[in-house]
Amino acid sequence: MRFTGVSAAAVVALLGMGAAHAQSSGPSAQQIIQALKPTGNVSSTTRGIVPLAQGAAQAAPAPSVAKPAAMRMKTTAPAAVSHAAAQTPSINLNIDFATGSAKLTPQAVTELDRLGRALTDKTLAAYHFRVVGHTDTTGAASTNLALSQARAAAVKTYLMSKFDIPATRLQATGVGEADLLVPTGPNVANRANRRVQIINTGK
């Protein structure tokens, strides 16, 4: 009975560690490559990856959601981003930043290291990419727009510094809360909407 009790405790601990790992882990470098290469396609069940066809389908309902007046003023740029993502391979990554800032967390560094390895792989080395920052609807729209721009710039800076990716290969932009992956009302915290989108813009 004593052995059984210890074994049960060990199993519980291992399950907890596995759950935590599953929650924090994102797509591998190879999965990112498959999603971003022109002929790439991955299963929509893979966490964090939005393939070309499914990504376009998921983003489609967003324009039908009523937005506050402050948000409607920013619809032009996000629409262009959504159109580009619908026409070319793209991927959504849940990059964790410090709350209310563009400071990278250790988890963010891990995710970006995978992204950097993918972008410098020979499969993608000849392509250019747009780095698009997105937020949820918590807080003021103007603040979220500035925050998303700062976070996209932070991602670009890290990739340039760590992986020697030329600045000309990466275009950083932010659209704030105006292009939600999961449509919500105002002041709704949604992790899926706090994302960094990588779009292959061609050679």
Do the strands 170-176 and 128-134 form a parallel or antiparallel pair, or are they unpaired?
parallel
HEC states along 14-26? HHHHHHHHHHHCC
Structural domain count, the chain = 1
Residue-wise pLDDT for 144-176, tens only, equals 999 999 999 999 999 999 999 999 999 999 999
Domain assignment of residue 10, yes or no: no
Across residues 74-100, what is the average pLDDT?
73
For residues 8 and 184, which has the higher predicted lDDT (pLDDT)? 184
pTM of the shown model: 0.70
Q: How far apart are CA 183 and CA 181, in angstroms?
A: 6
Instruction: Quickly state the pLDDT bin for 25 (edges 50, 70, 90).
Output: confident
Is 123 among the domain residues?
yes
Residue 19 has pLDDT above 50, yes or no: no
Asked whether residue 18 is domain-assigned, the answer is no
pLDDT for the residue 40 = 47
| Confidence check: pLDDT of 139 > 70 | yes
Q: Give the CATH number for residue 189.
A: 3.30.1330.60
pLDDT in tens, 61-82: 333 333 443 333 343 445 555 5
pLDDT in the model for residue 57? 35
Rounded to an integer, what distance in angstroms lies between the CA atom of residue 73 and that of residue 151?
Answer: 21
How far apart are the C-alpha atoms of 120 and 187, rounded to whole Å?
38
Domain around 105: 28-202
Q: Let me know if residue 6 belongs to a domain.
A: no
110 residue type, one letter: T
pLDDT band at 85 (very low <50, low <70, confident <90, very high): low
Q: What is the pLDDT at residue 181?
A: 97
> What pLDDT shows up at residue 4?
46
Asked if residue 111 is part of any domain, the answer here is: yes
User: Is 107's pLDDT higher than 80?
Assistant: yes
Position 145 scores a pLDDT of 98
Helix (H, G, I), strand (E, B) or coil at 158: helix
**Is residue 151, in this structure, part of any structural domain at all?**
yes
Express as a percent the part of the chain with pLDDT over 70: 65
Domain assignment of residue 192, yes or no? yes
Confidence band of 84 (pLDDT split at 50, 70, 90)? low
Taking residues 114-125, what's their average pLDDT?
98
Mean pLDDT over each residue of the chain, to the nearest integer: 78
**In this structure, which amino acid lies at residue 26?**
G
Residues 6 or more apart whose Cβ sits within 8 Å of residue 46:
27, 31
